[in-house]
Amino acid sequence: MPPAMTMTETVLRSTPETVSWGWIAADRDPVRRVKSGAVLRIDTVTHQGINTTDDPVTFFARAGIPAGKVLPDAIEIYRRVTRGEGAGPHLLTGPVFVEGARPGDMLEVRILDVAIRVPYGVNATGPGAGVAPELLERAEQTVIALDLARGVALVRPGVEVPLAPFMGIVAVAPPPGLKRVSTKPPGAFGGNIDFRHLTAGSTLYLPVFNEGALFYTGDGHACQGDGEVDGTAIEISLTPTVQLIAHPGAGGAMRSPRAEDAAHHYTMGMAATLDDALKAAVRETVAFLQGRGLSPKEAYTVCSLAVDFRIGEAVNGVLMVYGAIPKRIFTGAGQVQA
């Protein structure tokens, strides 16, 4: 896509009025209206420490976090926002109405920055969680300190994991007829794709299903491996800065989100099993390459020769496999554009 016009940054705070607990909804009133091309700095709050019987101050105090280090908006959301029956666990900020975005369009989400709001996060797991639900015998909610100066998570003495913050949920409202969906399973609208490559400098492309697109984000992660196999990452409150750009008519043929960064184009396949998700990811990759002039046979061959297919999400009912297409394989006239 050509460079978009840079506009004045708009700040959207996470408050009881601007968050949705557990739902990506087409029937929720927009919390902000912006023009296509607008840049938004969006506060988000993790559900960890809020979806417990204890209030956030009490929850984090057990890990040595003083009350003054707990986000005031997390405390207020705990007091005033209710999670409804059937809702997912995540807190999202939104929706944002993008003026001019219509069904059949594509919403380009440029991730300009992802700022960490607090120097700690939570990994929650236990019996029934993740891809090996029988592995653990008791539930664990581990508060993990972050060394922001060095850019690492202090998992335990001698084990440090590099930080790579990204939003686990980036979404538009679901197709008409659904009205609202749980935040847990991802879909063509995006949602809980937990795609670890959505760090600063990347771009996500989503098909638009509703007037204004109705953009949501939340479920911040300080870092995560492919698959998110124990059920969570380091769940954390983040502030992403995004640019939202509507592309008329460009989303009509999209069946799944896709993304790119400096090194790769990414296609995604989703299904109830990893086998079917892999097949869907291969089909999406073939379709992507065909759209750039390759024959079906050539595209399938490139999938086998150059594309890595990886498990992106393995723990939320709808599983996601993605194809990483190296940009370096395209040269001259064959250079692929988004």
Last residue of a domain, one of 200, 219, 247: 247
Average pLDDT over residues 5-33: 91
Give yes or no for a contact between 259 and 205, defined as CB atoms under 8 angstroms apart.
yes
Given a cut of 60, is residue 59 above it in pLDDT? yes
In a domain, 254, yes or no: no
Smallest CA-to-CA distance from 94 within 167, 20, 26, 35 is with 20
Instruction: Point out which residues pair with 123 in neighbouring strands.
Output: 142
Q: What is the CATH number of the domain that holds 96?
A: 2.60.120.580
- The arrangement of strands across the sheet holding 120-125 comes to 120-125, 140-147, 152-156, 159-162
Query: Is residue 326 domain-shared with residue 210, that is, in the same domain?
Result: no
Q: Dump the DSSP string for 39-87.
A: EEEE----STTTSSSS-HHHHHHTTT--GGGS-HHHHHHHHH--PPTT-
Q: What is the DSSP letter of 175?
A: P
Q: And the tokens for 56? A: 């956030």
Query: Is residue 305 domain-shared with residue 220, that is, in the same domain?
Result: no
Last residue of a domain, one of 247, 277, 294: 247
Average pLDDT, the chain: 95
Tell me how many domains the chain contains.
2
In a domain, 113, yes or no: yes
Domain that holds residue 291: 263-334
Q: Give the C-alpha separation, 338 to 336, whole Å.
A: 7
Q: What is the CATH number of the domain that holds 327?
A: 3.10.28.20
Given a cut of 80, is residue 1 above it in pLDDT? no
- pLDDT, tens digit, 9 for 90 and up, residues 290-316: 999 999 999 999 999 999 999 999 999
pLDDT at 8: 67
- pLDDT, tens digit, 9 for 90 and up, residues 192-223: 999 999 999 999 999 999 999 999 999 999 99
Residue 229, CA atoms < 13 Å, CB-side half-sphere: 8
Q: Categorise residue 35: left if φ over 0, alpha if ψ from -120 to 50, beta otherwise.
A: beta
Q: Give the C-alpha separation, 44 to 21, whole Å.
A: 12
- pLDDT, tens digit, 9 for 90 and up, residues 35-44: 999 999 999 9
